Amino acid sequence: MDYKQSGVDIESGDAAVRRIKSIARATFTPGVLSDIGAFGGMFRFPASTYADPVLVSSADGVGTKLKIAFMSGIHDTVGADLVNHGVNDILVHGADPLFFLDYLATGRLDPNVAEEVVSGMGRACAENGCALIGGETAEMPGFYQAGEYDLAGFIVGAVDRDRLVDGHDIKAGDRLIGLPSTGLHTNGYSLARGIIFDKLGLKVDSFVPEVGDTVAGALLRTHRSYLHCVRPLLERRLVKGMAHITGGGIPGNLSRILPERTSARIDRDSWTVPSLFTFLQAAGAVPRDEMFRAFNMGIGLILACAAADADLAMGMLKDQGEDPKPIGEIVPGARDILL
């Protein structure tokens, strides 16, 4: 036997790397010192940019949203999801992204699929000013079902220590501003798939009138990055804390930034829940509280601002074409989310 007969095709792996190199190189920033294929990615830290730098890092995956990519044959959006999710996770601490690495594992490597996945990563990295400096493509026969793969992403960013955002000075009276999501982002897909495929028996190409899109079109909408619209507010020091609304919804994520003896009161009627969520709720007979735990319900990022700064922050966001919503305020309490 040889390695190829056992399920690992080194030639396919080399072909995938050759395709990925050009995608990654297009994202390189001046700090990148290594090429794709080195044992480690090298990045020269821009020390002159920061007086007292703090590195902020995060790792995450795309979850069962990948199942929709497998079923539809559309693979570039999940790569962008992975990058944007990571960018948002460090953005909530005030950090700008520096570089990104990925891990793609599959049973049998398809260079075309790998190229499509990484092209989405490259596009999102370029949009966020983040360099894709390396990663790992693992071929693991017998470990994954045919046509399936898994993704993980690792991001590193930086912020000056005196500009760290961690919610420590949030207090009663502060205002909460919600920024719209583009869909489910990367959470709640196990429940959504159960409703759409198991209960309703729909296919990925089924058109859903209530949503105005196909199943694949609605479920593969890219998890957006909030970097560019939030950065001007950070420069003006208008933001005390931010919550990226991912798994656990608003209750599970907003509570993570609340100091002791504070709670958040959210007005559910302050924004219109997008039709995708109302469709899923009705079709699955999902209780309202469960919807808010499983999904972002149309709010992908929440900003906490001093009451005196809230109008300015709202105005700056609107000037950038955003549709911010004044969704609530901070009140005395025991770190509860009052929905």
pLDDT in tens, 218-267: 999 999 999 999 999 999 999 999 999 999 999 999 999 999 999 999 99
pLDDT above 80 for 311:
yes
pLDDT above 80 for 1:
no
Determine what percent of the chain is predicted with pLDDT higher than 70.
97
d(CA 318, CA 325): 10
Helix (H, G, I), strand (E, B) or coil at 107: coil
In a domain? residue 169: no
Same domain, 136 and 26: yes
Q: How many CB atoms lie within 10 A of CB 64?
A: 15
Mean pLDDT, range 76-91, rounded to an integer: 98
Domain boundary among 111, 140, 163: 163
In a domain? residue 257: yes
Same domain, 26 and 57: yes
Helix (H, G, I), strand (E, B) or coil at 68: helix
In a domain? residue 4: no
Domain boundary among 109, 134, 163: 163
Helix runs in 129-226, H state only: 189-193, 215-219
In a domain? residue 170: no
Instruction: Return the pLDDT at 37.
Output: 86
d(CA 258, CA 195): 33
d(CA 314, CA 257): 20
Domains identified in the chain, total number = 2
In a domain? residue 168: no
In a domain? residue 249: yes
- The per-residue pLDDT for range 10-66, each reduced to its tens digit, is 777 777 788 899 999 999 999 999 999 899 999 999 999 999 999 999 999 999 999
Same domain, 53 and 92: yes
Q: How many CB atoms lie within 10 A of CB 33?
A: 12
Task: Write the CATH number for 89.
Answer: 3.30.1330.10
In a domain? residue 2: no
DSSP 8-state assignment for residue 194: I
Instruction: Return the pLDDT at 333.
Output: 96
Instruction: Return the pLDDT at 138.
Output: 92
The long-range contacts involving 281-287, CB below 8 angstroms and separated by at least 24 positions, are 283/195, 283/196, 283/199, 283/200, 284/191, 284/194, 284/195, 284/199, 286/191, 286/195
The long-range contacts involving 257-260, CB below 8 angstroms and separated by at least 24 positions, are 257/92, 257/166, 257/167, 257/170, 257/304, 258/167, 258/170, 258/330, 258/335, 259/167, 259/168, 259/169, 259/170, 259/171, 259/335, 260/334, 260/335
Helix (H, G, I), strand (E, B) or coil at 312: helix
Mean pLDDT, range 72-82, rounded to an integer: 97
d(CA 290, CA 67): 22
Same domain, 203 and 287: yes
Tokens of 155: 């991001």
pLDDT above 90 for 331:
yes
Q: How confident is the model at residue 3 (pLDDT cuts 50, 70, 90)?
A: low
Nearest to 76 by CA among 229, 192, 223: 223
Instruction: Return the pLDDT at 19.
Output: 86
Instruction: Return the pLDDT at 18.
Output: 86
Same domain, 135 and 234: no
Our measurement of the distance from residue 280's CA atom to the centroid of its chain's CA atoms, rounded to an integer in Å, reads 21
Instruction: Return the pLDDT at 2.
Output: 67
Same domain, 98 and 225: no
d(CA 276, CA 272): 11
Q: Residue 121 sits in which domain range?
A: 10-163
Mean pLDDT, range 114-128, rounded to an integer: 97
For the whole model, what pTM was predicted?
0.95
Same domain, 243 and 308: yes
Residue 271's identity, in one-letter code, is W
Q: How confident is the model at residue 6 (pLDDT cuts 50, 70, 90)?
A: low
Instruction: Return the pLDDT at 12.
Output: 73
Task: Write the CATH number for 243.
Answer: 3.90.650.10
Mean pLDDT, range 173-187, rounded to an integer: 98
pLDDT above 80 for 284:
yes
Domain boundary among 132, 163, 194: 163
Same domain, 26 and 152: yes
Same domain, 333 and 186: yes
Instruction: Return the pLDDT at 270.
Output: 97
Same domain, 129 and 219: no
- The per-residue pLDDT for range 128-179, each reduced to its tens digit, is 999 999 999 999 998 999 999 999 999 999 999 999 999 999 999 999 999 9
